[in-house]
Amino acid sequence: MRSPSGSLARAPALLLTLAALLGAASCTTLAAPPAAADTASEADGFGAWIAGFSKEALQAGISRATLDATLARARWLPQVIELDSAQPEFVRPVWQYLDGAVSAQRIQAGRLQRQRYAAAFQAAVQRYGVPDSIVTAIWGIESSYGAHFGNFRTIDALATLAYDGRRRDWAKGELMAALTIVDKGYMPAAALIGSWAGAMGNTQFLPSIYLKYAVDADGDGKRDIWNSIPDVIASTANFLAQSGWRPSEPWGTEVRLPAGFDYSRTELTLRQDSDAWAAQGVRGMDGQPLPVMRDASILTPAGARGPAVMVGNNFRVLLLYNSSTSYALAVALLAQQIDGGPGLLALWPRQIKPLARTEIEAMQLALNQLGLDAGEIDGVFGPATRAGLRRYQQRLGQTADGYPTQELLQRLMQQTDKNTSTSKP
């Protein structure tokens, strides 16, 4: 589970993995972090900050005993700040992310884990109506089935982020939630372990999510998402159910688009029932009718040259877990293959090189210079830039899929160069 981020939350991107932008090192090429600040003075400032925050926590009703056991021992972790400030230079293309996230080994391990914890999975399916393969897939992607859920002390990580991270208010809220977990006696402070970004345990719950959705399924009185797999399974299924999972619908399906399909309609915000898509010529891959889904969208994560999927409500629920289309697609495809189904049948355009952030900025600048409105020049390829690029492709008479390529960037650069030189006196 990833933290929200203002600009990114406004712009869920098709080819970008937001998880990558939010600093999940597993799916990015990280640029070198900035030079470390003066560690000694940072640590001094941290101590003063802790003292101030302890007063706030006391006022919020956290007991002094809990503060002594938690904040009084909190450590400032420079590594957390380095990870938080590292910006990916390249965002990996969706196919590279999927290669790692949905490996043959992870599919096989998922089947074994589902078998091993069959009773717990069956109980969760009955109670929450979420397929066991979906919960298994989230567990596999979040922590490789518990093999790697991070070894940061959550309170240290969140205190560090609340003191000088990029999203301090958010981190303060999560830190308060972590203190509440300890204060209420749900888990001891030492048990709260997870990622540098505050996500905890097998399926990476943030403390606020833990408070709302964690479940004691094995009946030992603790909601233990670190050591009890039945608790992990029920908690994850409960989160998805409470977030609006529809048991009657699949996550979606791979589709074949008709010739001449208007790619400006491939946005998550454009939703219609599967019947309407079928009436417009969208078909299943195997010639079967489309599954019955309400409010479905068509996505083409790699543009017109890659696979197309029809996704619905349950895909959007997966995006609440982590607001990256690549992530949600990985969970869906891993689940489908754990169930013995196929992966994507259409091929990814693996020959297309991803654009670096600086190249995306150059593309945004050029589109704006041509009056095509690519939105803010921020190096992030979101819906506004995609719409601007589609307008440019239309002008060229190309299929307007809004997928950024080196070739389109080159053409844009040449054209803006020409415009600039002809406008010179």
Hey, CA dihedral for 28, 194, 314, 388, is it positive or negative?
negative
Nearest distance from C-beta of residue 214 to Ca ion, angstroms: 9
Region of 29-37, 215-223, 256-264, 307-315 interacting with Ca ion (CB under 5 A)? 215-223
Nearer to Ca ion, 234 or 309 (CB): 234
The answer to the question of residue 226 lying near Ca ion (CB under 5 A) is no
Q: Under a CB-based contact definition with an 8 Å cutoff, are residues 235 and 205 in contact?
A: yes
The answer to the question of residue 273 lying near Ca ion (CB under 5 A) is no
Nearest distance from C-beta of residue 190 to Ca ion, angstroms: 17
The answer to the question of residue 339 lying near Ca ion (CB under 5 A) is no
Q: At 377, which amino acid appears? A: I
Nearest distance from C-beta of residue 320 to Ca ion, angstroms: 24
Nearer to Ca ion, 227 or 399 (CB): 227
The answer to the question of residue 222 lying near Ca ion (CB under 5 A) is yes
Q: Which pair of tokens denotes residue 374?
A: 């690519």
Which three-class secondary structure state does DSSP give residue 271?
Answer: coil
Burial class (CB within 10 angstroms; exposed 0-12, middle 13-18, buried 19+) of 227: middle
Nearest distance from C-beta of residue 40 to Ca ion, angstroms: 42
Nearer to Ca ion, 25 or 226 (CB): 226
Give the span between the Cα atoms of 171 and 198, in whole angstroms: 8
Region of 47-55, 153-161, 228-236, 317-325 interacting with Ca ion (CB under 5 A)? 228-236
Nearer to Ca ion, 221 or 371 (CB): 221
Q: Which of 228, 236, 314, 337 binds Ca ion (CB under 5 A)?
A: 228
Give the span between the Cα atoms of 250 and 46, in whole angstroms: 48
Q: Which residue is nearest to Ca ion (CB)?
A: 216
The answer to the question of residue 185 lying near Ca ion (CB under 5 A) is no
Nearest distance from C-beta of residue 63 to Ca ion, angstroms: 23
The answer to the question of residue 216 lying near Ca ion (CB under 5 A) is yes
The answer to the question of residue 286 lying near Ca ion (CB under 5 A) is no
Region of 41-49, 69-77, 223-231, 233-241 interacting with Ca ion (CB under 5 A)? 223-231
Q: Which of 89, 218, 267, 275 binds Ca ion (CB under 5 A)?
A: 218
Beta bridge mates, 91: 28
Nearest distance from C-beta of residue 116 to Ca ion, angstroms: 17
Q: Which pair of tokens denotes residue 95?
A: 């196919």
Please report the DSSP string for 35-95 in residue order. Answer: PPP-HHHHHHHHHHHHHHHHHHHHHTT--HHHHHHTGGG----HHHHHHHHPPEEEEPPHH
Nearer to Ca ion, 128 or 277 (CB): 128
Give the span between the Cα atoms of 383 and 308, in whole angstroms: 17
Nearer to Ca ion, 199 or 215 (CB): 215
Could you tell me the CA-to-CA distances from 292 to 131, 222, 253, 277, 295 in Å, in that order?
17, 40, 11, 11, 10
Nearest distance from C-beta of residue 28 to Ca ion, angstroms: 34
Rounded to 10 degrees, what is the CA torsion of 384, 385, 391, 394?
A: -130
CB atoms within 10 A of CB 177: 19
The answer to the question of residue 231 lying near Ca ion (CB under 5 A) is yes
Nearer to Ca ion, 192 or 363 (CB): 192
Nearest distance from C-beta of residue 226 to Ca ion, angstroms: 10
Nearest distance from C-beta of residue 188 to Ca ion, angstroms: 14
Nearest distance from C-beta of residue 216 to Ca ion, angstroms: 4
Give the span between the Cα atoms of 235 and 212, in whole angstroms: 10
Beta bridge mates, 194: 152, 200
Q: Under a CB-based contact definition with an 8 Å cutoff, are residues 200 and 226 in contact?
A: yes
User: Under the rule (CB under 5 A), what is the footprint of Ca ion?
Assistant: 216, 218, 220, 222, 224, 228, 231
